[in-house]
C-alpha cells in the first residue's frame, strides 16, 4: 500500500489464445510456447513450411511435458499444414484467436498488419 492508501502491485492477466506466425526457425516453437504458458495463455503456432517436421516434433515434446504436468494438451497447438491459406484463416478468426504476433521479415509483418481481423 502507498501512503495514500492505494494498493500498487503486479497482476498477470492472460490474453487468451495467442496466435504466433513465424518463419522457418524451429526454436521459436519452443520459445513462443514457453512464453505463452508462463503468461497463462494458450498458443496457436504457425511456423514456416521448411521447418514443418521440426516444429511438429518440438510441439509433441512440449505436449508430453504438459501431460506430465497435468496441464491441458490443447494449450500448445501447431497448425498441422504447410498450406499458406492456413495463415489467412488464422488471422481472420477473432472468435478463436485473441491476438496475433507475427515474427519475421517485412513481408510477413506487412501482410499480417494489413489482413488481420484479430
pLDDT digits (tens, 9 = 90+) for 65-78: 999 999 999 999 99
Per-residue pLDDT of 31-86, as tens digits, reads: 999 999 999 999 999 999 999 999 999 999 999 999 999 999 999 999 999 998 99
CA distance linking residue 44 with residue 97, whole number of Å: 8
Q: Are 25 and 52 in contact (CB under 8 A)?
A: no
CATH class entry, domain 17-115: alpha beta
Q: Are 101 and 20 in contact (CB under 8 A)?
A: yes
Q: Which secondary structure element, helix H or strand E, spans residue 100, and what is its range? A: strand 99-103
CA distance linking residue 60 with residue 54, whole number of Å: 10
**Domain spans in the chain, listed from the N-terminal domain onward:** 17-115
pTM summary value? 0.86
Return phi, psi of residue 59, to 5°.
-65, -40
Amino acid at each position: 500500500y502507498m501512503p495514500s492508501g492505494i494498493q500498487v502491485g503486479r497482476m498477470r492477466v492472460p490474453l487468451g489464445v495467442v496466435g504466433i506466425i513465424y518463419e522457418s526457425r524451429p526454436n521459436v516453437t519452443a520459445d513462443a510456447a514457453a512464453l505463452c504458458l508462463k503468461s497463462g495463455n494458450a498458443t496457436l503456432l504457425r511456423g514456416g513450411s521448411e521447418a514443418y517436421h521440426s516444429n511438429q516434433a518440438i510441439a509433441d515434446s512440449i505436449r508430453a511435458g504438459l501431460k506430465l504436468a497435468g496441464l491441458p494438451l490443447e494449450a500448445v497447438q501447431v497448425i498441422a499444414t504447410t498450406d499458406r491459406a492456413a495463415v489467412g484463416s488464422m488471422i481472420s478468426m477473432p472468435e478463436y484467436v485473441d491476438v496475433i504476433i507475427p515474427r519475421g521479415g517485412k513481408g510477413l509483418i506487412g501482410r499480417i498488419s494489413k489482413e488481420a481481423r484479430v
